Amino acid sequence: MKKITISTLLARKQAGEKITALTAYDASFAKLFDEQGTEVLLIGDSLGMVLQGQDSTLPVTTSDIAYHTRAVAAGAKTSFIVADMPFMSYASADQAYENAGTLMAAGASMVKLEGGSWLCDTITGLKQRGVPVCGHLGLTPQSVNVFGGFKVQGRDADKAQQLITDALALEAAGAQMLVLECVPTSLGREVSEKLSIPVIGIGAGVDTDGQILVMHDMLGVSANYMPKFSKNYLSETGDLRKAVTLYLEQVKNGEFPGPEHSFEQ
């Protein structure tokens, strides 16, 4: 198979074909996910919680992400690799340029930033410097202390409209993909329809252009708790590879996420 690029993912959206994604943190799982046909691998700052045992993503550093990005890049030959920019690693444009450069050099194909229209200048600057950007809206875990916990976002009309406005602004600034987390299904559908770039959902309903799960949640081995939007595929199949295959199949055919994994207005 050819290496997946952002052009591949855009073509998937345009053809109405769902995009499959998982987090990965090491070479062995990256190789397994890659061989099963997972299109996007994210080195998430979720590693702070599922690998390090922290109660949030905030302690994760750029060095942490770079280390795991190198491992994932060594294992994956086809998948498109996205690396999270950790908390406060892009507080200024210059910080963002330096830290994004570190992650791209480690093997990322794209970096992901959490936040709305305040990031537009930084995103434009990154794109001008050859760094593809994925935005992240809805529940942005790096802002958990502002939100007052891990809560569904965009349930009232004003906040839903602000999220749509931010999504359009990020795309106009040069973002080439968007992760949308923990929003009502109707909002996930509307954002996906309004944007020309791929929208990857996690707890955003079945109508986004693709789905991503934290691998530990998908395999039922999370050290914390099982989110409503996740599903334990390992318990259903009893085999690691079959679990990944079933997840990919259910994303592709629109069976996952079901209503029980989604949020209403």
Q: Which residues are annotated as a binding site?
A: 45-46, 84, 112, 114
Contact partners, residue 240, CB within 8 Å, separation at least 6: 32, 219, 234
Known binding-site residue numbers for Mg(2+)? 45, 84, 114
Q: Are 27 and 72 in contact (CB under 8 A)?
A: yes
Q: Which of 181, 193, 260, 264 is catalytic?
A: 181
Residue 154's nearest CA partner among 177, 185, 178 is 185
Known binding-site residue numbers for 3-methyl-2-oxobutanoate? 45-46, 84, 112
Element (H, E) at 178: strand 177-181
DSSP 57: S
181 a catalytic residue: yes
Q: Are 175 and 153 in contact (CB under 8 A)?
A: no
Count of other CB atoms within 10 angstroms of residue 130: 9
Q: Are 237 and 243 in contact (CB under 8 A)?
A: yes
Report CA dihedral (223, 224, 229, 230) to the nearest 10 degrees.
10
Indicate which residues carry an active-site annotation: 181
